Amino acid sequence: MIREALEGIVAKLPNTGKRIVVDTPCAARKLLRPQHVDALIVGREFIEDVPGLLEFCPDPSMTMAVLLVRNPSAADHARARSNDIDYVVDSSTGASTAIAAITRKFSEFSRRSHRRPTVSEPQLPGIWVGDKTDIEIVEMIAAGYSDRDIADAVCLNHQTVRNHVSRILCESGARNRTHLASMYLKSVCAGSDPFGPSADSRPNN
């Protein structure tokens, strides 16, 4: 039902070219890279995926991100602000009103002298890892595994894996797991090594 409503709204947006509705962030990433993306519209369950999805847009600073939800709460607005979402649109007012709101907000977004600042990638040379276990953890994060699934696969307890993930995020300059996954996937797609030097080979400070 939600997908049908979204397809109905997206199909009626004026002055838009290709309109595609997908069910998962993975499917979205496959479609974002080849072409310019004017607008990225997501539902409540994908709020945290927006920063990583924007990384796959050819020019993230020029892509408007919209959260489209029924009766958005204060928590929805807070989550949107912290995840690079430009606007929140209430879909409970009906398709026509939602379309008008998205169209108006896109016009506002297009008129900005400085749109969303382009997020710079970390200056460190790739994802910094301590050992082969870290590499396995990053690869499984990029594949969509949860911390508990990873813990079972690498034979560590859940908290230890969470500690590994926190350290990898911090040392690699990744904002969150989604950003870390996008860093890994972008390097792999470009044919380069996604990992920086291991802990043993880093220079002493």
Does residue 53 form part of some domain? Answer: yes
Q: Do 177 and 85 fall within a single domain? A: no
Closest to 2 (Cα-Cα) out of 106, 91, 97: 91
pLDDT in tens, the chain (205 residues): 345 555 555 555 555 554 555 656 666 666 665 566 778 888 888 888 888 788 777 777 788 888 988 899 999 999 998 888 989 999 888 877 887 888 788 878 877 645 555 544 444 457 888 888 999 999 999 888 988 999 999 999 999 999 999 899 888 888 888 888 888 888 887 777 888 755 444 444 4
Total count of domains within the chain:
2
pTM of the model: 0.50
Q: For residues 176 and 145, give the distance between their C-alpha atoms in angstroms, rounded to a whole number.
A: 14
Q: What tokens does 56 get?
A: 């796959």
Instruction: Give the domain range for residue 170.
Output: 127-201
Does residue 121 form part of some domain? Answer: no
Q: Of 79, 111, 143, which residue sits at a domain end?
A: 111
What CATH number should be reported for the domain holding residue 137?
Answer: 1.10.10.10
